[in-house]
Amino acid sequence: MGEKCATIFSFMLATLLFIAILAKFVQNKKKNFGKGASKFPPGRRSWPLIGDSFSWYSAVASSHPPRFVEDQVKRPSTISTTIKSFFFKMFAERQVAINLMVNQLFGVSSESEINKMAQLFSDFVDGCLSVPIKMPGFTYYTAMQARETIISKINKTIVEIRRREAATEVGNGVLGRLLEEESLPDDAIADFMINLLFAGNETTAKTILFAVYFLTQCPKALMQLTEEQDSLRSSSDDHMLTWQDYKAMPFTQCVIDETLRVGGIAIWLMREAKEDVEYQDYVIPKGCFVVPFLSAVHLDENLYKGALSFNPWRWMDPENQEKRNWRSSPFYAPFGGGARFCPGAELARLQIALFLHYFVTRYRWTQIKEDQMSFFPSARLVNGFQIRINKRLDELKMQ
Ligand code: HEM
């Protein structure tokens, strides 16, 4: 019953929000039109109230989200504006990633503490993309409760670290390091920690999943990557990778780039025009949502030949070297760009490379169920990517 009420409330609130956004949109449109030579960017304006939510949903739930942009944009254009409002809940298939993040950020190593924190964080993430109703029974309410508990735990840890005067000791994770910066107030530190947990949580884990998925579909790439990683392995006695090893993985880097191009988990970004923005002959009116649709660029056949296929060798082509610069290329931006560029990009790439190294040099696997990508409610493989993993024969012999 409670759940039913929550659904009705959610629906009503969503409808009200749609209307409010629409009203704002119409108001802005009126205000900005007929102001001279400037015009609205090309493309459909979408339906009243529902916007393009249905076509958006059907595109992102498929394995080819750029279809949304392809359907919208009648002639080539890099900008598409639309009204959108959608509420969705994320799936909870991220335990391992959360555990790792909790361990690294807070320096917590007790398993029960990590699990408790991970559960709280999972509740928090679920509520971040839900209808904001702060009443018991609603996901948002649970999330806000979880957030409070996380903050109070962070504050307790801060007090404890200070009491032990252990902030300089290695092992306190990012939290300990932040405390060394005495100028930061405690609530800013707590906020920063929560943001980091949120941003770094699923991203790397999902990209690793997609990398293994693509490699499974492309045995030739898997073989070349394994050869590269095997050669690095045999060159060091203790099997520990060094920074030099990391820098000597050209093909692995191509695999990472291609994974981020075909299966980049940030398929689009969200911005709001804070003022009228002029772009070429057009004006994007203040208040409009602007959606830079990254995957529409990454999967554009005009930019990438055979854009839909996983082809890591394309990044060896001298013609693609300029395009490849993920820090500044307008054609390849898996980590965003500009002021909000992902600060975890280098770390994520390193983690992916390390994972691939240890995975392919130690294990073999077989996919046991067909799968496909979907990007709703978040990037995932619809059947959970079921594989059977075995230790490599040479690994077994060494034991
Ligand atoms: C493959 C993994 C990752 C991908 C594809 C990715 C992608 C992105 C993208 C596209 C943005 C820009 C969002 C926007 O412009 O609205 C972003 C922002 C951000 N990312 Fe990542 N990210 C990854 C891993 C990480 C990791 C591991 C961390 C932290 C440990 C992290 C922390 C952040 C933060 C804090 C922001 C917000 C920056 C700001 O708003 O100023 N990311 N990420």
User: In this model, does residue 43 exceed pLDDT 90?
Assistant: no
Same-domain check for residues 398 and 257: yes
The count of structural domains within the chain is 3
Q: Is the CB–ligand 1 distance for residue 348 below 6 Å? A: yes
Same-domain check for residues 221 and 352: yes
Residue 275 inside a domain? The answer is yes
Same-domain check for residues 162 and 136: yes
Among 138, 155, 184, the domain boundary falls at: 184
Residue 190 inside a domain? The answer is no
Looking at every residue in the chain, the average pLDDT score rounds to 78
Pick 178 or 135 by higher pLDDT. 135
Give me the amino acid identity at 346: E
- In this prediction, residue 107 carries a pLDDT of 67
Average pLDDT over residues 125-152: 85
Same-domain check for residues 253 and 382: yes
Distance CA 245, CA 118 (A): 33
Taking alpha carbons only, the member of 24, 130, 150, 58 closest to residue 87 is 130
CATH of residue 317's domain is 1.10.630.10
Ligand 1 geometric centre to CA of 269 (Å): 11
Residue 35 inside a domain? The answer is yes
- In this prediction, residue 81 carries a pLDDT of 33
- Give the structural domain span for 246: 203-266+299-399
- In this prediction, residue 238 carries a pLDDT of 62
Residue 193 inside a domain? The answer is no
User: In this model, does residue 69 exceed pLDDT 70?
Assistant: yes
Same-domain check for residues 275 and 328: no
User: Given ligand 1 and candidates 96, 203, 354, which is best to mutate, with the most ligand atoms within 8 Å of its CB?
Assistant: 203
Residue 195 inside a domain? The answer is no
Same-domain check for residues 363 and 307: yes
User: Given ligand 1 and candidates 341, 342, 354, 355, which is best to mutate, with the most ligand atoms within 8 Å of its CB?
Assistant: 342
Distance CA 174, CA 172 (A): 7
Q: Which of 67-76, 102-111, 197-206, 255-264 has the lowest mean pLDDT?
A: 67-76
Q: Is the CB–ligand 1 distance for residue 344 below 6 Å? A: yes
Ligand 1 geometric centre to CA of 100 (Å): 17
- In this prediction, residue 234 carries a pLDDT of 65
- In this prediction, residue 34 carries a pLDDT of 46
Same-domain check for residues 65 and 176: no
Same-domain check for residues 80 and 104: no
Q: Is the CB–ligand 1 distance for residue 98 below 6 Å? A: no
Among 151, 184, 217, the domain boundary falls at: 184
Ligand 1 geometric centre to CA of 236 (Å): 33
Show the tokens assigned to 279. 């772009």
Same-domain check for residues 346 and 276: no
Tens of pLDDT, residues 4-23: 444 444 444 444 444 445 44
Distance CA 206, CA 199 (A): 12
Ligand 1 geometric centre to CA of 342 (Å): 4
Among 129, 157, 184, the domain boundary falls at: 184
Same-domain check for residues 175 and 207: no
Among 67-71, 217-221, 229-233, name the most confident range: 217-221
Provide the strand spans (E) within the chain.
271-272, 277-279, 282-284, 289-290, 363-367, 373-374, 380-381, 387-391
Backbone angles phi, psi at 5, to 5 degrees: -60, -45
Same-domain check for residues 157 and 276: no
Show the tokens assigned to 48. 């009243």
Residue 260 inside a domain? The answer is yes
Same-domain check for residues 161 and 240: no
Tens of pLDDT, residues 302-355: 999 999 999 999 999 999 999 999 999 999 999 999 888 998 899 899 989 999
Ligand 1 geometric centre to CA of 334 (Å): 9
Q: Is the CB–ligand 1 distance for residue 138 below 6 Å? A: no
Q: How far is CA 248 from CA 50, 245, 255, 276, 279, in A?
A: 51, 5, 14, 47, 42
Average pLDDT over residues 98-122: 74
Residue 1 inside a domain? The answer is no
The ipTM, to two decimals, is 0.99
Binding residues: 342
User: In this model, does residue 2 exceed pLDDT 70?
Assistant: no
- In this prediction, residue 259 carries a pLDDT of 98
Residue 289 inside a domain? The answer is yes
